[in-house]
A and B are shown apart, each in its own frame.
Chain A
Amino acid sequence: MAVKTVIEAIRDGMDEEMARDPGVFLIGEDVGNRGGVFLASDGLFKKYGELRVIDSPLAESCIVGVAIGAAVNGMRPIAEIQFADFIAPAMNQIIEEAARFSYRTAGDFNLPMVIRAPWGGGVHGALYHSQSIEATFAHIPGLKVVAPGTPADAKGLLKAAIRDPDPVLYLEHKRTYRLVKGDVPNGDHVVPIGKADVKREGKDLSLIAYGLMLTYCLEVAEKLAGDGISAEVLDLRTIKPIDRAAIIATARKTGKVLVVHEDTPFAGVAAEVMAIIMENAFDALDAPVMRFTGPDVPAMPFNHVLEEAFMPSPEKILAKARELAAQ
């Protein structure tokens, strides 16, 4: 075990997979000599050279489209989108192309590729450096979407994503990069895609979250314990394919569920989680399922008052959890 930050865990994950498999390479804006704008690939350019750590032109469709082609021809590309907010120019390549290669060829082609995208707010990033994109992509069959919240999961899920035979959108929350530290197991630590994780056991209510909101929910659970409320915290880790069994299990166990994300609510991940609970654990519920999310506005403003008003915080989540506990 070693204590690492999320960004270190991501770097270690890429480094180990590149060392393990000569087909793995990284392509993206500023990933080379600069080591990435967040230093996710710091040192990899020197170690693996310009054919395996490729500074792309400033063109996101190019990054993803080239990664698709390389995956067709036997490679395992990691395509880095510098900020999730800038993924829109690559939507055609991701949705119409990458997500459909297997389906549209009845399995003749498959694309072992990862698209890494730093996401989320609370970093004074304003409208275009703060967005949550998970619901948009989780809606697309053919894609897998993961959103780890701890260093161990960040490394383990990245390694799983790189080894996966299908395209995986790997979302790394910017605010967690250096904020969240934790033990990362030594050796070849791989976390399977599609498995949620109970990060804290409890019996009175369940908090379901991922990414930065996991950290906030763990804080909330600690505070609830002070109130004498035992909160379970389920970390989804993977958005698609979602771990239905784990969601149903925690709902049945506590009978009260609060789903938390900073993405906007409409047709969001919380809505899907709530539908799963309603379809499968309605009889076990002691209260209506609740959600706490960012507001339905286009994106997160720059001004700190507005940003704080947008972002879910431990305090706001705690208030909502107390409301649920009182029901």
Chain B
Amino acid sequence: MALKTTEVEAKGGQSRHRSLGLSDEQALRIYEVMRLARAVDERMWLINRQGRAPFVISCQGQEGAQVGTAAALRTGYDWVAPYYRDAGVILWFGMTARDQMLSFFARREDPNSGGRQMPGHFGSRRLHIVTGGSPVATQLLHAAGVALASKQRKEDAVTAAYFGEGAASQGDTHEAMNFAGIHKLALVFVCENNGYAISVPQSHQMAIQNVADRAAGYGFPGVVVDGNDVLACYEVARQAVERARRGEGPTLIEVKTYRFTAHSSDDDDKRYRPAEEVAIWRQKDPIQRYATYLREAGILRDPVEAAITGRVDQQVDEATEYAEQAPDPTPDDLTTFVYKQELKP
């Protein structure tokens, strides 16, 4: 996929973001959340490599796909079932850098899990982020259930379910899409195709070029979009969300993107993909590309950029400092919340 020159103007001479109904402030907000997701992630790697935290799993390179699609949803009303890379999604939905760092250091105060889960296993009932485990694709069925409940109560909330192209091979992916198609659920499937499931390339994951082609088999549309073009992601997601909210059923969006880092801090991606390939994709960095667009559109002037950088750095610094010093769970925390209704032995 060749890097397209940034197109500032949409058809009709308007700037692209305005033609999509995004104000300048909204367009900048998307940029800031992408920057924050990246900055938190980079800080985690730094701390991990210093030996101060055991594990990191990354969103880097996929922020455009994540924030662009999440921005089409109504936060606090719609639901998301993210997967482990979706820092951009959960930050858009109201989680904070501090929340992420509390999870990264596995502190007692970690709102996702109280320090029980590895980083990247997001969940917040209040923020309508469905908790995720490590088995992949299970969350797509949960998303179908969330969407079914909305339909049963005649509410127009939309649910977005995120997964990688590796998870597309799981039976649960088929079962979720099949069910969503049958019941015309208000569900948007977002496949972040970054080309690799740990080390296995797409060519060994499936015999087709586009995961989105499978949508036809479930009776709803599939769309392929450049995942490193955040406004393109927003555009297709908005169409899918509107369609879902109108009661016309699901859409499968496949965002073609790339992860800049290894699968996780325990992986060595040099064993399975050439450095040149990574370098080429880094040239297509969704954040840089969007920054170029915003500058050309005249809304990311130097003082604006400096203010965003200042806020992002401050949040990451404060979050790191707070979380690193926050208390661990105690051994007594091991046995709580096995059940909602605690059982007496």
When distances are taken between beta carbons in the complex, the residues of chain A under 8 Å from B56 are none
> Is B145 touching A100 in the complex (CB atoms < 8 A)?
no
> Is B179 touching A109 in the complex (CB atoms < 8 A)?
no
Cα–Cα, bound, A251→B158 (Å)? 56
Cα–Cα, bound, A305→B207 (Å)? 50
Stretch at the interface among A53-61, A120-128, A225-233, A294-302: A53-61
User: Which listed residue, A56, A108, A141, A164, touches B125 by the CB 8 Å rule?
Assistant: A108
Q: Which residues of B contact A (CB under 8 A)?
A: 79, 81, 111-114, 116-117, 121, 123-126, 130-131, 133-135, 138, 140-153, 171-172, 175-176, 178-179, 182, 333, 336-341, 343, 345
User: Which listed residue, A71, A107, A164, touches B337 by the CB 8 Å rule?
Assistant: A107
Assuming the contacts A96-B138, A97-B138, asked whether A69 and B131 have C-beta atoms less than 8 A apart, the reply is: no
Stretch at the interface among A72-80, A176-184, A208-216, A317-325: A72-80
Q: Which of A104-130 contact B (CB under 8 A)?
A: 104-110
Cα–Cα, bound, A66→B144 (Å)? 6
> Is A97 touching B130 in the complex (CB atoms < 8 A)?
no
Q: Name the residue in B116, B172, B340, B345 with the highest tally of chain A Cβ atoms < 10 Å from its Cβ.
A: B340
When distances are taken between beta carbons in the complex, the residues of chain A under 8 Å from B121 are 104
Q: Which of A29-71 contact B (CB under 8 A)?
A: 51-52, 56-57, 59, 61-62, 64-71
When distances are taken between beta carbons in the complex, the residues of chain B under 8 Å from A141 are 338
| B149, closest chain A residue (CB) | A73
When distances are taken between beta carbons in the complex, the residues of chain A under 8 Å from B341 are 164-166
> Is B337 touching A102 in the complex (CB atoms < 8 A)?
yes
| B171, closest chain A residue (CB) | A61
> Is B138 touching A110 in the complex (CB atoms < 8 A)?
no
Q: Shortest Cβ distance from A163 into chain B, in angstroms? A: 10
Q: Shortest Cβ distance from A231 into chain B, in angstroms? A: 28
> Is B337 touching A166 in the complex (CB atoms < 8 A)?
no
Cα–Cα, bound, A192→B186 (Å)? 37
Cα–Cα, bound, A108→B152 (Å)? 23
> Is B144 touching A108 in the complex (CB atoms < 8 A)?
no
> Is B149 touching A69 in the complex (CB atoms < 8 A)?
yes
Q: Shortest Cβ distance from B277 into chain A, in angstroms? A: 33
Cα–Cα, bound, A65→B144 (Å)? 8
Assuming the contacts A62-B175, A70-B146, asked whether A106 and B337 have C-beta atoms less than 8 A apart, the reply is: yes
When distances are taken between beta carbons in the complex, the residues of chain A under 8 Å from B133 are 96-97, 100, 104
When distances are taken between beta carbons in the complex, the residues of chain A under 8 Å from B79 are 73
Instruction: Indicate if A101 sits at the interface (CB-CB under 8 A).
Output: yes
The total number of A-B Cβ pairs within 8 Å is 149
Cα–Cα, bound, A280→B146 (Å)? 45
Q: Shortest Cβ distance from B55 into chain A, in angstroms? A: 16
> Is A106 touching B336 in the complex (CB atoms < 8 A)?
yes
> Is B135 touching A96 in the complex (CB atoms < 8 A)?
yes
> Is A105 touching B149 in the complex (CB atoms < 8 A)?
no
With A102-B337, A105-B113, A106-B337 known, 4 other A-B pairs at CB within 8 A are: A64-B141, A69-B81, A73-B79, A166-B341
Cα–Cα, bound, A225→B150 (Å)? 58
Q: Shortest Cβ distance from B339 into chain A, in angstroms? A: 5
> Is A142 touching B339 in the complex (CB atoms < 8 A)?
yes
A-B pairs with lowest CB-CB distance, top 10: A69-B145, A65-B141, A106-B114, A73-B149, A110-B340, A62-B175, A69-B142, A165-B340, A107-B337, A66-B145
Q: Shortest Cβ distance from A87 into chain B, in angstroms? A: 15
> Is A51 touching B151 in the complex (CB atoms < 8 A)?
yes
When distances are taken between beta carbons in the complex, the residues of chain B under 8 Å from A107 are 336-337, 340
| B343, closest chain A residue (CB) | A241
Instruction: Indicate if A150 sits at the interface (CB-CB under 8 A).
Output: no
Q: Shortest Cβ distance from A78 into chain B, in angstroms? A: 13
When distances are taken between beta carbons in the complex, the residues of chain A under 8 Å from B142 are 65, 68-69, 72, 97
> Is B131 touching A104 in the complex (CB atoms < 8 A)?
yes
Cα–Cα, bound, A105→B339 (Å)? 11
Instruction: Indicate if A103 sits at the interface (CB-CB under 8 A).
Output: yes
> Is B113 touching A66 in the complex (CB atoms < 8 A)?
no
When distances are taken between beta carbons in the complex, the residues of chain B under 8 Å from A68 are 141-142, 145
Cα–Cα, bound, A103→B133 (Å)? 11
